[in-house]
Structure 1
Amino acid sequence: MKEIQKLFRPPLQALLSEKVGGRWDKLQEIRCRTNQQLELCFDDRTEWIEASLMEAADARFMLNQLSDFSLYALENELREGYITIAGGHRVGLSGQVNTEGGVVKALKHISSFNIRIAKARPGAASRIMSSLYKPDGTCHHTLIIGPPKSGKTTILRDIVRSLSTGWQQYKAMKTAVVDERSEIGGSINGIPQHDLGKRTDIMDACPKAEGLMMLIRSMSPDVIVADEIGSERDVQALLEALHAGVKIVCSVHGDSLDSIRHRPSLRPLFEQEVFERIVILKKGMSPGVVQAVLETASPAGANA
Structure 2
Amino acid sequence: MEDTYNKKTIKRILDFEILPLLPLNIVELIKKVPINQLINLEEIRLRPTKPLMLVINNEDFMINDDGRITNESSKAYHTTKDDIYKTFHFISQYSVYSFEEELRNGYITLSGGHRVGFSGRVLLENENIKTIKYISGFNIRIAREVIGAADKVLPFIINGGKALNTLIISPPKAGKTTLLRDIIRQLSSGVDEFGIKGFNIGLVDERSEIACCYEGIPQNDVGIRTDVLDSCPKAKGIMLLLRSMSPDIIATDEIGRNEDVIAIEEAINTGVTIITTAHGSDLDDIRRRPTIRKLINKGFFDRYIILGTSSGVGSIEAILKGNNFENIYKCKKGKKIQCG
Answer whether TM exceeds 0.5 for this pair.
yes
> Who is 2:48 aligned against?
34
Alpha-carbon distance in 2 for matches of 1:107, 1:29: 21
1:4 paired residue among 18, 21, 41: 18
The residue that corresponds to 2:179 in the other structure is 155
* Deviation beyond 6 Å, 4+ runs, structure 1: none
- Counterparts of 2:102 and 2:32 in 1: how far apart (Å)? 31
The counterpart of 2:254, out of the listed 202, 207, 228, is: 228
Query: Which stretch shows the higher mean deviation, 105-114 or 173-182?
Result: 105-114
SS in 2 for 1:265: helix
Match status 1:110 vs 2:135: yes
Partner in structure 1 of residue 109 of structure 2:
84
- Cα deviation digits, residues 178-228 of structure 1 (max 9, x gap): 112222112222221212222222122222222212222222111111012
Letter in 2 for 1:195: D
**Counterpart amino acid of 1:196?**
V
Instruction: Give per-residue Cα distances to partners, 1:268-298, cap 9 Å, x unaligned.
Output: 2223221111111114675422221111129
CA gap 1:207/1:263 in 2 versus in 1, 3 angstroms: same
Aligned counterpart, 2:188: 164
List gaps (5 residues or longer) in structure 1. Answer: 299-304
Instruction: Give the equivalent residue in structure 1 for 2:238.
Output: 212
User: What is the CA-CA distance between 1:163 and the residue it aligns to?
Assistant: 0.6
CA distance 1:272–1:225, shift in 2 (3 Å): same
Query: Residues 43 and 285 of structure 1: is their aligned pair in 2 closer, same or farther, counting only changes over 3 Å?
Result: farther
Closer/same/farther in 2, CA of residues 122 and 284 from structure 1, 3 Å limit:
farther
- Structure 2 equivalent of residue 64 of structure 1: 89
**Aligned equivalents of 2:286 and 2:64: distance in 1?**
40
Q: Identify the range of structure 1 (47-56 vs 96-105) with the bigger mean alpha-carbon deviation.
A: 96-105
CA deviation digits over 1:99-128, x for unaligned, max 9? 467654432222121222221100111111
Distance 1:181 1:90 in 2: 10
> Which residue in 1 is equivalent to 2:145?
120
**TM-score, scaled relative to structure 1:** 0.89
Q: Distance in 1 between matches of 2:100 and 2:298?
A: 38
Q: TM-score, normalised by structure 2?
A: 0.80
Report the CA distance between 1:144 and its aligned residue: 0.9
Residues 17, 124 of structure 1: alpha-carbon distance in 2 compared, 3 angstrom cutoff: farther
User: SS at the partner of 1:96?
Assistant: strand
Flag the 1:220–1:155 CA change in 2: closer, same or farther, 3 A. same
- The separation in 2 between residues aligned to 1:33 and 1:285, in whole angstroms, is 32
In structure 1, C-alpha distance between the alignment counterparts of 2:24 and 2:102, rounded to whole Å: 26
Which deviations, in whole Å up to 9, do the C-alpha atoms of 1:146-186 show, x marking residues without a partner? Answer: 12211111111100111112222231211221112222112
- Structure 1 partner of 2:60: 46
Q: In 1, distance between residues paired with 2:216 and 2:131?
A: 26
Once residues 210 and 109 of structure 1 are traced to their aligned partners in structure 2, the CA distance between those partners, rounded to angstroms, is 32
Give the alignment of 1:126-141 within 5 angstroms: 126-134=151-159, 136-141=160-165
Distance (Å, rounded) in 1 between the aligned partners of 2:58 and 2:129: 35
What amino acid sits opposite 2:85 in the alignment? R
Shift in CA distance, 101/192, structure 1 to aligned 2, threshold 3 Å: closer
Deviation at 1:57, TM superposition (A): 1.6
**In 1, are the aligned partners of 2:109 and 2:214 still within 8 Å (CA)?**
no
Q: Indicate the structure (1 or 2) with the bigger Cα radius of gyration.
A: 2
Cα shift at 1:236 = 1.6
- Quote the residue 1:290 is aligned against: 316
Residue 277 of structure 2 corresponds to 251
Amino acid at match of 1:92: G
Shift of residue 22 of structure 1? 3.8
Q: Residue 35 of structure 1 contacts residue 56 of structure 1 at CA under 8 Å; is this kept in 2? A: yes
Q: 1:145 and 2:169 equivalent?
A: yes
| Of 206, 215, 235, the match for 1:180 | 206
- Quote the residue 2:289 is aligned against: 263
- Deviation sequence 1:60-99 (CA, Å, 0-9, x none): 2222233333334343443343332223323222222334
Match of 2:122 in 1: 97
* Counterpart selection for 2:33 from 11, 16, 19: 19
**How much has 1:13 moved relative to structure 2?**
1.4
Cα distance in 2 for partners of 1:127, 1:41 equals: 27
Amino acid at match of 1:18: K
Pair 1:200–1:33, CA change in 2 (3 A): same
Question: Matches of 1:161 and 1:227 in 2, distance apart?
Answer: 15
Q: CA deviation at 1:20?
A: 5.7
State the SS of the aligned residue for 1:46. Answer: strand
Q: d(CA) in 1 for partners of 2:92 and 2:25?
A: 21
Identity %: 43
